[in-house]
Amino acid sequence: MKLEPQQEVILGVDTHLDVHVGVVISEIGQILGTRSVSATSAGYSDLLSWASSFGTLTRAGIEGTGTYGAGLCRFLIDNEITVLEVNRPDRSKRRQQGKSDPTDAESAARAVLSGIATATPKQQSGACEAMRIISVARRSAVKAKTQAINQLRALLVSAPQDIREKLWRAKTGDCVKACAKVRNLGDSVLLQALASTLRSLAKRWLRLAAELVQFDKQLEALTQAHAQQLRSRFGVGPHTAAILLSVAGDNPGRLRNEAALASLCGVNPLPASSGKTTRHRLNRGGSRAANNALWTIAMVRMRSDPRTRAYVNRRTAEGLTSKEIHRCLKRYIVRELFPLIMRDLGKLRENI
């Protein structure tokens, strides 16, 4: 079915690794067509040409704009199509309507038409994306490094007493260096396996430690160059600044106000009132990496910042627990850092 060129049509896309499924609907919600294309540049061009043949295409809703749909999202934005990020339908709706790729694509288009979908996707370009990439690698290196030292110490705990006394050190670095120098612990099969395993784990820990030094240097250079406003605040280091900027994204228009950033970081208390009871509950959504970054900043300030320590003492006297004070601090930190993040992002956009 073809519409007049001046009539607007809306594209909804359900994205996957190799194939994307698109559905086009009219202004009144009528389904005009369904098409499956490959997740390649040629497939993106084919999808755009096909959708535009039904009318004037100005808006598109895409599931997974930060993962499988990232390439299509960038392609449509380059072709002056407004792209909105669509969350997958909730479970109750899926139980009623069923689950299929065309159904999900149709739901994405209808979310744009009804105004439910309002989120602007990340553009994934520039310094913020570079910080995100390095932070992802750094996070996995930290986990692997912790796992390596835990395994090494566990082996030493159960090792023969003479070997344990020879290699065990209270400081992690000294313990790793001692195990890295091990060549021979004995002639038995057990001792040979123990020697090679301890040496391998120690060298793995040293390699990961060297990787972390390089990642930290890169984040230091990037944040000093592109996040000067944010880095100027007490307790904000290169790692936490990089995470907050990467979560906020390259385009400052995604975040309308500080409440949006608080929701994105999962530090906004959610109302849970009923009847005569008025209360709020902890928000367990949002980016957990950003939430952890705010937790780190709050912890540093609680230990070393005189202003924060005075606040903690006052709130403790009012009867709040340490966890409750920490949650309040994270929300206040978002309020303080939001305008600084927006300024840094604005400068980044000017330099792109």
Give 157-215 pLDDT, tens digit per residue.
999 999 999 999 999 999 999 999 998 888 889 999 999 999 999 999 999 999 999 99
Query: 91 to each of 70, 87, 94, 99, 176, how far by Cα in Å?
Result: 24, 12, 5, 10, 49
Neighbours of 15 (CB within 10 A): 24
Residues 264/255, Cβ–Cβ less than 8 Å: yes
CA distances 321 to 148, 151, 312, 313, 318, Å, are 35, 35, 10, 11, 9
pLDDT at 255: 80
Q: Under a CB-based contact definition with an 8 Å cutoff, are residues 76 and 57 in contact?
A: no
**CB-based contacts of 218: which residues, under 8 Å, 6+ apart?**
134
Partners of 33 in the beta sheet?
24
Helix, strand or coil, per DSSP, at residue 24: strand
Closest CA relative to residue 262, chosen from 272, 251, 281, 248: 248
For the entire predicted model, the pTM comes to 0.79
Backbone angles phi, psi at 111, to 5 degrees: -65, -35
What is the structure's pLDDT at 335?
A: 94
Query: 265 with 247: CB under 8 angstroms?
Result: yes
Element (H, E) at 10: strand 8-14
Report residues of the chain scoring pLDDT below 50. Answer: 3
Token representation of residue 282: 């902890």
Per-residue pLDDT, 254? 73
User: Six-digit token pair at 221?
Assistant: 């250079």
User: According to the model, what pLDDT value does residue 119 have?
Assistant: 77
Give the pLDDT score at 128: 87
Q: Where would I find the H helices in the chain?
A: 41-52, 70-78, 91-97, 101-114, 127-158, 161-167, 172-180, 189-226, 228-231, 238-248, 258-265, 288-304, 306-317, 322-351
User: What is the reported pLDDT for 350?
Assistant: 55
What are the two backbone dihedrals, phi and then psi, of residue 294, each rounded to the nearest 5 degrees? Answer: -65, -35
pLDDT for residue 214: 97
Q: Supply the pLDDT for residue 87.
A: 79
Distances (CA, A) of 325 to 42, 57, 72, 310, 315: 54, 49, 43, 12, 7
Distance between CA atoms of residues 120 and 156, nearest Å:
52
- Name, in order, each residue with C-beta under 8 angstroms of 235's C-beta and a sequence gap of 6 or more: 296, 297, 298, 300, 301, 304, 305
4 φ/ψ sector (left φ>0, alpha ψ -120 to 50, else beta): beta
Quote the CA–CA distance of 5 and 119 in Å, as a whole number.
Answer: 27
